[in-house]
Structure 1
């Protein structure tokens, strides 16, 4: 394997790990402040938003809305059965 390809693959996996940490943090803490998330990931807000969208199919804010909806649904408990 070419050395530059190996380096690129390592960088790609490192970025995916950072994005996974951002995703987990959003799900756990509900953090929406993109600037804080980006600074902690060592990226600009624009870069983080673009890369997050490519990796997960929605923006960090969109993911936060989905995570909140799931938490709210779980807190309500099971839906009553309709006859």
Structure 2
């Protein structure tokens, strides 16, 4: 692998690790409002690029990811306790 490609690959993996950190923060802080500015800062990316890269990595925007995980949690809670429905 030439030096240029190796550098690009290292930067890509660094970015993926930061995006994983953001995803974990979204999961961990699900009761708090979603603050795109601070999430983009964690990923060390401008907001528009952060949203695009997050979507590339996870298939959903940060807001859509949060909504999807909440929907899964709600379905699991209903399945675990059907008497509530």
Of the candidates 48, 63, 66, which is equivalent to residue 46 of structure 1? 48
Q: CA deviation at 1:76?
A: 3.5
**Mapped partners of 2:43, 2:8: distance in 1:** 18
Match of residue 18 from structure 2: 18
Distance across 2 between alignment mates of 1:48 and 1:76: 33
The question of whether the paired residues in 1 share the 8 Å contact of 2:18 and 2:42 is answered with no
Runs of 4+ in 1 over 3 A off after TM superposition: 74-77
- Gaps in structure 1 of 5+ consecutive residues: none
Q: Which has the higher contact order (CA 8 A, sep 6+)?
A: 1
2-structure distance, mates of 1:36, 1:75: 30
TM-score by length of 2: 0.82
Aligned length: 80
1:3-82 map, 5 Å = 3-30=3-30, 32-78=34-80, 80=82
**RMSD across aligned C-alpha pairs, in angstroms?**
1.6
TM-score w.r.t. structure 1 length?
0.84
Q: Gapped runs of 5+ residues in structure 2? A: none
